[in-house]
A and B are shown apart, each in its own frame.
Chain A
Amino acid sequence: MMGEETMVGGVDTILAAGLNGTPYYIHWGWFQISASNLAVIVLMLLVFVLAVAVPFPGRRR
């Protein structure tokens, strides 16, 4: 997808292995989701909770 042919080694190889490998899927009965999609959803929930809970700098109350 991102031009694997130019990735020759080092950090590129590590990133390529992480992003272009066989996706890992999680199953709960009929429900199935890739680990990467689940990670993004969990991260969004975490950011949402932090956005509500963490005080905004310079807020005057």
Chain B
Amino acid sequence: MTATAGGSEKRSWTATVRRAGLRALPPEKLLPDEQPVYVASWVYVFGVLTVAALIIVIGSGVVLALKGPAWWHVSSVGLFLNSVHLWSVELFFFFMVVHLWAKFFMAAWRGRRAMTWVTGAVAFIVSIGAAFTGYLSQQNFASQWIASQAKDGLNSVGIGAFFNVLDFGQMFTWHVVLLPLGIVVVVLAHVLLVRKHGVVPPLPARDSVTAESGDAVGERDGR
């Protein structure tokens, strides 16, 4: 029984996925209880601030989606949640841009972290689409103006056939289902990659660790 169970476990796809997951992200990497000393800097907090803002964006957005435009335009609580949604998005982009600058200037793609950089860039681009469709979902004169301008813009670059920005239903679905799903998936992959490869060290660290082995320094610097 034990031998059979062991054999079937080896063949099971769920066991294979679990083993691969544990190999790539053992618990001490997935939920570390300490970080390298260079992480003790304000410049390293903007990634988690971005994620915190995203949680507020999604939480307020879920309530807005459940209650609908007639609620968020009229009731005092609806107006408040609408403002929370808007300003958390402002903070989300604010923190994300500072995070992007920090990672760009420390060349955060070093040490096999190219996919971490790429997923961050994709998250940024998808977020712009989500913010744009959010403006289109306001159901006011501003959203009509933005939609009519964007229609010409999208047509001018040849992708107007794929999106009808004048169609509120289509844009609202993109805003509340497809794009948030895309952002969550990409951000999740981004965070898991950060956990897998570790937080990138600052550039001067290469000179301060010359006593270490060449392999360790080379791996860290992407050589």
Contact = CB atoms under 8 A, between A and B. Distances in A.
B82 A3 contact: yes
A54 B42 contact: yes
Contacts of B45: 51
A1 B41 contact: no
Interface in A23-58: 40, 43-44, 47-48, 50-52, 54, 56, 58
A30 B40 CA distance: 43
B126 to A, nearest CB: 20
A41 to B, nearest CB: 9
A2 B83 contact: yes
A1 B138 contact: yes
A6 interface: yes
Contacts of B98: 44, 47-48, 51
B76 interface: yes
Contacts of B138: 1
B163 interface: no
Given A1-B138, A51-B98, A51-B102, A58 B74 contact: no
Contacts of B76: 6
Size band of the A side of the interface? 10 to 19
Contact of B102 (A3, A48, A50, A60): A48
B40 A56 contact: yes
B97 A51 contact: no
Nearest to A58: B40
A2 B74 CA distance: 9
B90 to A, nearest CB: 8
Nearest to A57: B40
Given A1-B140, A40-B94, A51-B98, A56 B37 contact: no
A24 to B, nearest CB: 17
A50 B37 contact: no
B97 A50 contact: no
19 contacts: A1-B140, A1-B142, A2-B83, A6-B74, A40-B94, A44-B97, A44-B101, A47-B94, A47-B98, A48-B101, A51-B43, A51-B45, A51-B46, A51-B98, A52-B42, A54-B42, A60-B37, A60-B40, A61-B37
Interface of B: 37, 40-43, 45-46, 73-74, 76, 79, 82-83, 86, 90, 94, 97-98, 101-102, 138, 140, 142
Given A44-B97, A48-B102, A56-B42, 9 more contacts: A3-B74, A43-B94, A47-B94, A48-B43, A48-B101, A51-B42, A52-B41, A59-B37, A59-B41
